[in-house]
Amino acid sequence: MAVPPLRVGIIGAAWGARAHLPAWRSLDGIEVTAICTSRPETAAKAASDFGIARAFHDFRKMATDPEIDIVDCGTRPPLRFAMVMAALGAAKHVYNGIPFAKDLADAKAMVDAWHKAGTVAVVDAFMQAVPAMVQMKAMVDAGWIGEVFGADIAFEVPLFSAAQTNVPGYVWFADAANGASAERNLGSHMLSLLVHFFGPVASVASDMSLALKEWPLAGEIIRPEVPDRASMLLRHASGLPTRLEANWSKIGGDGFRFSVWGSNGRLEARAPVFPMAHDTILSGTRDPALGTAKMEPVEIEAEYLHISGCHAIHDRPETGLLALASIFAAMRDAINGIGQAAPDFAQAYHVHAIVEAATQAAGERRWIDLAV
């Protein structure tokens, strides 16, 4: 007997409709049936614009609606908390954004609610589902670089500069009350990838600063309150050292880079901005000679470019399409009793604990240990 489709309600008509909606719609066994915004008129317009059957302007009503199985929670962390808690309180499956929470107390409350609900709960750390990263991890796990000695990861882009704000929809990053900073936003994505590759982090040292004091935006000046740069040294529970650099005001920044090296070689993934399926390239070398080692392109194998029950195409430039669809597909399958969804709330909570420990480490100028 055929399994009925899982019905998704999306909260938010910006990122949720632009990035999440196409990814949900690329999957077999999924039906996006509702969208929610903060006002009746905007909800009705979003439903009409995107061809969605039902419109809500109260997320609590969406969360408790018996004809919705999955609630996809958009918007900024302080607002998302109530959305996630309402959905989990109604025993819904939940997709939550990054940063996971505005503080550790909210993060803990959401994890506790998830355990109580017994549902599937996943976060938006989709870097680990980008095909180049999936293949990179498989190669590392298979011993392609030998014994792993270390890794570094960086995301350095001019989201904001003295000349212009390149992402006007994200000026909420400037306000500390929103749980934002280069460490919390860019850093959470990269920390999720490091934890996915190498396991939990046992200790962290960090340094943070605010360099760019003003962001120009349509005739006004935004004055950020949060660090726009974060550097972290991490020691994983396994003993492996890794390093992270996040900077959202670096003119001429190299975008995204993730490098892993070991006894036999090195692998590196690069992307011009946020890593996507269509523009993240993988390269590697196993040449040990001093000064002559050359990174060569590594072809992404076909098995990493296709997802069962998914019609997303890997080389399409839509924001995060295939990687998001991969995370959604694993969530769909887990709800239907097949496999496990990832990255789940347990991973998200650990990443948030690292973020809070890094903030403490920067303030106290010392290493901070984490419970693992």
DSSP SS3 for 121: strand
To the nearest 10 degrees (0 to 180), the angle between helices 131-141 and 321-335 is 70
Enumerate residues 6+ apart whose C-beta is below 8 A from 94: 70, 71, 73, 84, 87, 88, 114, 119, 120, 121, 122
The pLDDT of residue 18 is 83
pLDDT by residue for the chain (372 residues), tens only, comes to 578 999 999 999 887 788 899 999 999 999 999 999 999 999 999 999 999 999 999 999 999 999 999 999 988 888 999 999 999 999 999 999 999 999 999 999 999 999 999 999 999 999 999 999 999 999 999 999 999 999 999 999 999 999 999 999 899 999 999 999 999 999 999 999 999 999 999 999 999 999 999 999 988 999 999 999 999 999 999 999 999 999 999 999 999 999 999 999 999 999 999 999 999 999 999 988 877 778 999 999 999 999 999 999 888 877 779 999 999 999 999 999 999 999 999 999 999 999 999 999 999 999 999 988
Task: Give the whole-angstrom CA distance, residue 205 versus residue 368.
Answer: 6
- CA 201/CA 239 separation, integer angstroms: 9
Per the CB < 8 A criterion, the answer to whether 276 and 111 are in contact is no
Is there a contact between 101 and 349 (Cβ–Cβ < 8 Å)? no
Instruction: Tell me how far apart the alpha carbons of residues 226 and 211 are, in angstroms, rounded to a whole number.
Output: 10
252 near 208, Cβ under 8 Å? no
- Per DSSP, helices labelled H in 214-309 are none
Report the residue count for the chain: 372
Round to whole Å and give the CA distance between 319 and 31: 20
In this structure, the strands spanning 215-217 and 121-123 are: unpaired
Structural domains in the chain, CATH included, are: 6-119 (3.40.50.720), 127-312+352-364 (3.30.360.10)
Tell me how far apart the alpha carbons of residues 111 and 163 are, in angstroms, rounded to a whole number: 41
Q: What is the pLDDT of residue 211?
A: 97
The secondary structure of residue 251, as a DSSP letter, is T
Other residues' Cβ atoms within 10 Å of the Cβ of residue 185:
23
